Amino acid sequence: MNQQIILCVESNKRSKTDNIYIKETIEHFFEIGNEVKIQFVNMENKDNYKSRTVLNQIKEYIRDYKIGESTVIYCIDLDQYEADSVQARENEDIEVFVKQNGYELIWFNHDIEEVYLGQRVEKGEKVKLAADFKKHGAIKDVPRDKLSSKKIAKGKSNILAVLSNHLKQQINLSK
């Protein structure tokens, strides 16, 4: 069955740092054949989750994909939600929006770099560190349990749990 997965990510169209980590995850943990099309919508930041630009890009991808089903998945950093009530409320608003629209949600706690690199990263370092992550094949060093959490915890994500509902997992992975 042909399928398209549309991943809405926080990074911008120039840096595409989130795209790198997520693509590396998909390629490492899942079997992707020609029947699967992966698309990215770069939101610039999660505040734009329901902006006209983002929603139009999603609609365009769905409209143009005529050979199968489309699944929309928002990928967001939870940021410092424990200490920031505004941030916690925004995360809840995004979760409600995702559910109301029949989309799915991948979260990274506190952010994508903390999950994949084990540390917070300054804005100016994000592009270089994401490129290094890809160049060195560092996805193989990320423990599977960090990426398949069912509960929100520091340095963890639910990315594998969500994607495994749509993609065929690789066999014989050591992690």
Q: What is the pLDDT of residues 26-42, one digit of tens each?
A: 999 999 999 999 999 99
Domain residues of the chain, as ranges? 3-169
| pLDDT over 80 (residue 173) | no
Closest CA to 171 of 29, 5, 15, 17: 29
pTM of model > 0.85: yes
Q: Residue 78: how many CB atoms within 10 A of its CB?
A: 21
What are the helix (H) ranges across 81-125? Answer: 85-100, 112-117
Do residues 22 and 73 lie in contact, with contact meaning Cβ atoms separated by under 8 Å? no
* Residue 1 pLDDT class (50, 70, 90 cuts): confident
